[in-house]
Structure 1
């Protein structure tokens, strides 16, 4: 029986080294030219909160170059343009890139705009038209699930699609949809059978590919940490052909849950990486900054904040590695990934808050990275399932709910 090895294997290390070289060669020059807007993200946003055209162009350039280099969606199968790397390697690269902090480098690897479990169900012409271009970073998508009155209780969605001859007519409204305003197409979940007509409330939901020019973008949803990236998707008698049905009719919800499972692993990996970044920044500052004739790191309150964060990041990383390993083994990770997501994002939240505290007034300045990371840390405790959903899932897996 093969035991668990916490060493970075040779293949993964080669990928990490190549990533560092790519970031130095392709990302650093772009970031240098946008330094003030990246150091203070508010300078890189329009009046409505959305990124400026200059920032968007830089991000798109990075995605495409990363796709060409084979990094952007390396977790996807080789037959659709990915590298087919293990989940352990994907976890490691997600963590590694996040450990460099927020900025252009975070777009080297796919996020919510990239390929996912739902898009992976593409067949026939869908593969060439939608899946492969997204894997290569040449197109982007958005996942349309959340609605104004329906958050965690997704099966209660009011967006509906009715069959009309050879077409489906979609009506509804999605909210808090990342990349909605900038995507080439959206993956929209809609109820195709009323709740009253299905045996299980998760049934009767279908996923549709909806092109960007077929839906209207509503208000920009300026959630902290994701300012300008989320918006409403408005669907008013949108007609799509049968060829735009993605995956099984009336059975898309379980595939959507697989998307969220992978998303929880990815966000947890990012939380660990960002925590490592903030801890290193805090350690450096605590050793250099002096008060009352001593470095502030020599004071117990400051050193304890760092030590608690270091311990929690250590444990979160161990949980992430275990979850990724179990996924590679084909094991059920429903409980694992909820534990990991909950622990890693809450650790990140505490570490980000303490990083602000350790840096004092400097921590509050928008010209420094700490508040930006604090905002993101707060968001991560809600997206891909709230803290409460994660805890409920853990309880259900142990027959308590």
Structure 2
């Protein structure tokens, strides 16, 4: 029998059991209103309070400076891939710089090129997206509109270290798959964004945190719904927002704050989980290849494959019989992938490691 507790999917990912329980109750009736969360008005006082709490919790967890505006958007990172250059890559600056470190960052730069010129300042494609550059050592143009990167590549299992210095140009990061998994210095960034179906909740909402000085660059004449000033001015309520997704996001932030004890504690848990899994995979190095080189391995996503490719399918069946789901690799590279998002427990990772060892012994 499959279990929510053994969900290793790359997204939508696992949610904490306590959040699932509270969500289930809220679908029937919210304790505050007596109505189902699925039928709550986005114009209600209740929802305004939820948006306020979600922002307040995020600010507290991240230590986010007041100069950042927080907005809850729709369309995922894919919409922001176009929205960001529309808003910030103005003629007053040189073309923005992009880091192509994997599948999703390549999608971001390709979309930006549809809007206007952009420069790829580093490209990992020649090495098969197995390593990452140091953000602090990139040859970024001093007049570039901004530098964009994806902090964690879910497909290839690559994760950047946080920058040690503040770049000379605004740093914009898509943190969709490692947001709230560890603390970082938010003050080094011009904009941080993350869609929800990894660590934050169900698909439908994207968090955007924007230094207000960047908003001064936005040109007039953009469609209102694509002008980030519109979303901020309307407090994430310009058009009907994803009420349910924002509510679940708020539950997740409560769980991180009250049950986990904040992002330092979450990082320690995630480090333990990823170490257990990579140690297991490394012990099977004669039979298994991990996609990412060691210095850049992600704590969130481990992409790997059996050297005998026929065993990938066999392991999926083997794991499925033990209740594990979501271990298929991304369609672009195949193989296997275990996503260890915040809600994936250490016990679940131990179950996966036991299964890998048992399977390896049978097929050694």
Which one has more relative contact order, counting CA pairs under 8 Å at least 6 apart? Answer: 2
TM-score (norm 1): 0.24
